[in-house]
Structure 1
């Protein structure tokens, strides 16, 4: 009987350690997928290294896909939540919606639904904000940027107002297309995200 009790205690300890460590699920587009980069040195890989140094049992699942829109990500999120049971979901989306000129209201609805789904699964959520180049016109770029502020306020989720702060528009930190951060920018991206992400772990 004592042996069974001891095994039960060990099992509970293992479960507690697993829950404490948790899984961070990144659902994003090319910025997090590491388009044009050595993905082992992208910001998500750097995040994984930092987490492992602090919480060796933690894990990071990068479910980002280059070219993904918020609608694409919304459709595949339920399967990701069921498969990985994340402690934290990081949403890095919207850039492709904006570059395609899709309605900001649709982006807002998709992000809101994703937050609801993630929370229903028991996960916390971090929303990473994005902005568009000025050539899309002030009316559209302002409406697009406002989506992230509005969603964060409505859903009471922590947010990084602009993930590419200090990177976007800086030629030395951008690839030749002027859209995707280069290798030198990846540490800065992690540093932009980390202050909002760390308290959620």
Structure 2
């Protein structure tokens, strides 16, 4: 076989492979990760943030997605609500909502957090996006009454809006020094990978249902 024929054959095989590979699709699902510093990637290098690691994991699993980093460090649920219209400019098809951690850290009124999150969910649902809500837990030093009131926000509004719930964004990562940065709050790359691994099974049904 001549060199020219070999080259042409390889080009055809390569092109055919791209056509079959959903990760190489020219029309990827727009997935918005919408949250605070835990999403934005505080203290992490480029490529190590939650959206970056999620993008890599989903591509490896064969999903054609474009993960958009919609995290903003320091955001409360009120801040997230205030920039909702901006987030919709990305026209997300699937949204992961990760907000409320800073509300808890600041001891903000749980009823306000609940209402802000309800409005955020309503905004994305009215837009037509599929939603994965990730839960948060209040710091335990704020007292039993506050903790109970705060923690129940997420399962209750997930049920109210009939959206998928990942019970706790930092599940298996919170308070583990091996999985967090020196501040003990923000995950390191290993911690982020654990979060991604936990979330993907909750996310896949939303990706597979695309029409």
Q: Which interval holds the TM-score relative to the shorter structure?
A: 0.7 to 0.9
Do 1:33 and 1:39's aligned partners in 2 also have CA atoms closer than 8 Å?
Answer: no
How many residues get paired? 182
Query: Is structure 2 residue 65 aligned with structure 1 residue 65?
Result: no
For residue 176 of structure 1, report the CA deviation from its aligned partner.
Answer: 2.2
Q: 1:31 & 1:132 partners in 2: Cα distance?
A: 15
Give ranges in structure 1 of 5+ residues lacking alignment.
1-15
RMSD: 1.6
Q: 1:152 & 1:124 partners in 2: Cα distance?
A: 12
* Higher Rg of the two aligned structures: 2
Give the structure with the larger helix fraction: 1
Alignment of 1:165-180 (within 5 A): 165-180=171-186
Q: 1:80 & 1:30 partners in 2: Cα distance?
A: 16
Q: 2:173 & 2:63 partners in 1: Cα distance?
A: 28
> How far does the alpha carbon of each residue in 1:5-36 deviate from its partner, in whole angstroms, 9 at most, with x for none?
xxxxxxxxxxx973xx3200111001111111
Q: 1:119 & 1:66 partners in 2: Cα distance?
A: 24
1:8 maps to what in 2? none
Q: 1:119 & 1:181 partners in 2: Cα distance?
A: 29
Task: Report the more deviating stretch, 98-107 or 36-45.
Answer: 36-45
Q: 1:197 & 1:25 partners in 2: Cα distance?
A: 12
> How far does the alpha carbon of each residue in 1:69-90 deviate from its partner, in whole angstroms, 9 at most, with x for none?
1111111111221x21111011
Do 1:70 and 1:107's aligned partners in 2 also have CA atoms closer than 8 Å?
Answer: yes
> How far does the alpha carbon of each residue in 1:106-162 deviate from its partner, in whole angstroms, 9 at most, with x for none?
111111111111111111111000113322222212211111111111111111001
Query: Normalising by structure 1, what TM-score?
Result: 0.85
> How far does the alpha carbon of each residue in 1:159-196 deviate from its partner, in whole angstroms, 9 at most, with x for none?
10011111111121122222211222111010121111
> How far does the alpha carbon of each residue in 1:36-71 deviate from its partner, in whole angstroms, 9 at most, with x for none?
111411222111112333134x21111101100111
1:186 maps to what in 2? 192
Q: 2:169 & 2:184 partners in 1: Cα distance?
A: 15
Q: 1:115 & 1:132 partners in 2: Cα distance?
A: 20
Query: Normalising by structure 2, what TM-score?
Result: 0.81
Alignment of 1:13-24 (within 5 A): 18=27, 21-24=28-31
2:19 maps to what in 1? none
Q: 2:39 & 2:129 partners in 1: Cα distance?
A: 20
